[in-house]
Structure 1
Amino acid sequence: MLETLWLPLIGALIGGAVTLLGGGGGVFYFLALVSLVGLPYRVAVPTSLATVVLTTGFGSYGHYRQGNVAVRVGTLVVLGAVGGTYLGARTVSGVDTALLRRALGAVLIAIAGLTLVIDRYRTAPTGSVATIDASLTPVRASGSVVLGVLTGLLSALFGISGTPVLLPGLYALGLPAAAVVGTSVFAILGVALAGVGWYAGLGGLDPVVALAFGVGAAVGGGLAPRLLAGVRTDRLEAVSGPLFAVVSVLAGIGFLLGYL
């Protein structure tokens, strides 16, 4: 088992990376807690969720201060995610874990393809994040709720933060890259809180590991938006989609072959 002293550093590295790219890092936290820390599955799951809450909490605040969060869109996504997480939690107990992992691999690869299509044909919206958020159309509002339901369902079924659905979904709703990243982190905070609530009865949370790992992740997540502020929007637009697609394909292959 890894020494507790190293947990804040590992948490900071993961938290900073996933927050900068618009993620919650649930799958990475879970894998680190199982493979590096040596926690059993039933303890790693709620501990990972607690870490995601800390990371995205600080990350959301940082993105909000930078003006990267479309609050109204993000709030509707969170409302939908609460319902989706409940549905997933009620379903997952009757499905074999190995089957869920392989299904996740297929989903990740499919989403990677969708991301590339959206990235290829997406037209960057004009105006500020505040303008886009204020002009919330019925289509964008209903799409935000549907996106939240899918995100919550994916999180509860596969134990991930929902980033694979959120990022391409927010791009499809017409948000610019910086708003996609910030709003994604904000929405994942709501997903993680819902997950902690629905699975609270499972128990098994390791408070020492959660605190040590989570504090480091929160620091990394809070510092990441400052780095994003110095990146040109057109460059972020150009690399975020393909980078996410590559990571999704690699992770999908790993799940399909049973390595993850």
Structure 2
Amino acid sequence: MIIIMTMFLLGILLGFIGAGGAGFVIALLTVAFGFPIHTALGTSLAAMAFTTLSGAYSHFREKNVDIKLGTIVGLSAFFSSFAGAKLAVYIQEDLLHYFTAAMLLLSAVCMLIKLFMSTESSENKLKTRQLWSRGIVIGVLTGLLAGMFGVGSAPFIQLGLLIFLQLSLRQSVGTTMLVILPISIGGGLGYVTEGFVDGALLLKVLIGTMAGAYVGAKFTNLAPKPVLKVAVIATPAVAGLLLLI
């Protein structure tokens, strides 16, 4: 019951900032509840498939999702995420802790630079060919990182959507939830085939995060933009620090 309640509170935050939350789930499962890192990776990534489905639907109803761009990036990420999960089993547990933590901290730094030191685009002026080429590259890279290190790469996806695909902050938040759906399915399948998904633990994580993500997505349009920016940056940073501890 403690795990479910913890995941519900986390789900509210993840739905609010448009993140699948695998990195934070991994940090909590390993640091607070003592699960092995590979089991935490596989279970959290598999759980994201359901968590993001709830959050993405809520963001879609709030008109925060670009369906076309989300589909391009998401389908590209599906295959690379599966491949990344297969590669993760060859990384030692101790190293995997540091790699995952480094990914989360780096993503927080990247979002800090983008959100506070530059202006966001108000209109997408890219040509169709540019949308496809940039979308595929973003999908392949973020999917590979997500599969290998068990994180949904939400900050990297948001950064790609903001800079290279020129979406607004709120559109990037909502579209990221859609992109993480195929990423988590592909990566989750990879970990399932390697035997690193705990069914009972997965159910507890799902109950909490799905309910929380749906509630949290309702607050994205209501929150002041500075609050949303701080939350987007602070979430991966805190998760990374927890893993280092």
Taking structure 1 as the reference length, what is the TM-score of the superposition? 0.81
Name 2:188's counterpart in structure 1: 196
Over the matched positions of the two proteins, sequence identity in percent amounts to: 28
Q: CA deviation at 1:189?
A: 1.4
2:31 aligned with 1:58: no
Name the CA shift for 1:46/1:252 in 2 (closer, same or farther; >3 Å). closer
Unaligned runs of 5+ in 2: none
Name the CA shift for 1:141/1:218 in 2 (closer, same or farther; >3 Å). same
Name the CA shift for 1:187/1:89 in 2 (closer, same or farther; >3 Å). same
User: C-alpha distance in 1, partners of 2:39/2:120?
Assistant: 44
In the TM superposition, what whole-angstrom CA distance separates every residue of 1:44-80 from its partner, at most 9, and x where no partner exists? 3332223222211111111111111111111111112
Unaligned runs of 5+ in 1: 127-131
User: C-alpha distance in 2, partners of 1:104/1:42?
Assistant: 11
**Structure 2 residue identity aligned to 1:69:** V
Of 162, 179, 184, 1:171 maps to: 162
1:1-260 equivalent positions in 2, closer than 5 A: 5-119=1-115, 120-126=117-123, 137-172=128-163, 173-203=165-195, 205-231=197-223, 235-236=224-225, 238-249=226-237, 251-252=239-240, 258-259=244-245
User: C-alpha distance in 1, partners of 2:95/2:82?
Assistant: 20
User: C-alpha distance in 2, partners of 1:11/1:81?
Assistant: 25
Name the CA shift for 1:76/1:251 in 2 (closer, same or farther; >3 Å). same
In the TM superposition, what whole-angstrom CA distance separates every residue of 1:202-239 from its partner, at most 9, and x where no partner exists? 235433332233112111111112222323xxx32x44
Q: Number of paired residues?
A: 243
**Structure 1 residue identity aligned to 2:158:** L
User: C-alpha distance in 2, partners of 1:208/1:102?
Assistant: 27
Name 1:129's counterpart in structure 2: none
Q: CA deviation at 1:110?
A: 4.1
Name the CA shift for 1:253/1:58 in 2 (closer, same or farther; >3 Å). closer
User: C-alpha distance in 2, partners of 1:143/1:239?
Assistant: 29
User: C-alpha distance in 2, partners of 1:254/1:33?
Assistant: 11
CA RMSD of superposed structures (Å): 2.6
